[in-house]
């Protein structure tokens, strides 16, 4: 009996560690490797990207619970920073955009500069301070 309990506790401990390792970078804003190159076949008008400043593109879906939290964070940042645009792309209505930007899970948030180059990407719910830090050099 004790062996079974120890095995169950051990399995739960390993599962908790594995879960933590998988989600520890969730919401972290990371610079993209292709930041100096325009996105492939990207028409800035296609997503309504701003030509005067950076734009946050947020991929979401009606069934995504975390997308509501991302929407609030992004809206708060955009309200604080006048020159930042915000575009929300519905995953279900835009499968081409999902494929073009390799969106494999939700929520995903991309930051584009005024020239339409993808500069940052985050999966999960980003912190408002992290978004502001990523946007600061693009607003200068």
Please tell me which residue, 25 or 122, carries the higher pLDDT value.
122
Burial category of 82 from C-beta neighbours within 10 Å (exposed 0-12, middle 13-18, buried 19 and up):
exposed
The domain segmentation of the chain, as residue ranges, is 28-139
Q: How far apart are CA 84 and CA 68, in angstroms?
A: 19
* Contact between 58 and 71 (Cβ < 8 Å): yes
pLDDT in tens, 11-42: 887 777 766 555 555 566 667 765 444 454 45
Report the Cα 48 to chain-centroid distance in Å. Answer: 18
- Among residues 123, 22, 15, the alpha carbon closest in space to that of 67 is found at 123
Q: What is the pTM of this model?
A: 0.74
What is the average pLDDT score of the chain?
81
**Hey, what CATH class is 28-139 in?**
alpha beta
For residue 135, is pLDDT > 70? yes
pLDDT in tens, 56-97: 999 999 999 899 999 999 999 999 888 888 999 998 898 888
């Amino acid at each position: 009996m004790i062996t079974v309990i120890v095995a169950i506790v051990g399995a739960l401990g390993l599962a908790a560690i594995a879960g933590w390792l998988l989600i520890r970078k969730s919401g972290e804003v990371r610079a993209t490797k292709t930041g100096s190159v325009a996105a492939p076949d990207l028409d800035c008008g296609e997503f309504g990207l701003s030509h005067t400043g950076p734009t946050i593109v947020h991929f979401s879906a009606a069934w995504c619970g975390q997308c509501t939290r991302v929407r609030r964070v992004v809206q708060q940042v955009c309200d604080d920073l006048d020159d930042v645009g915000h575009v929300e792309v519905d995953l279900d209505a835009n499968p081409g955009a999902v494929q073009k930007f390799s969106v494999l899970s939700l929520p995903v948030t991309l930051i584009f500069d005024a020239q339409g180059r993808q500069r940052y990407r985050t999966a999960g719910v980003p912190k408002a301070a992290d978004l502001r830090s990523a946007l600061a050099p693009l607003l200068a």
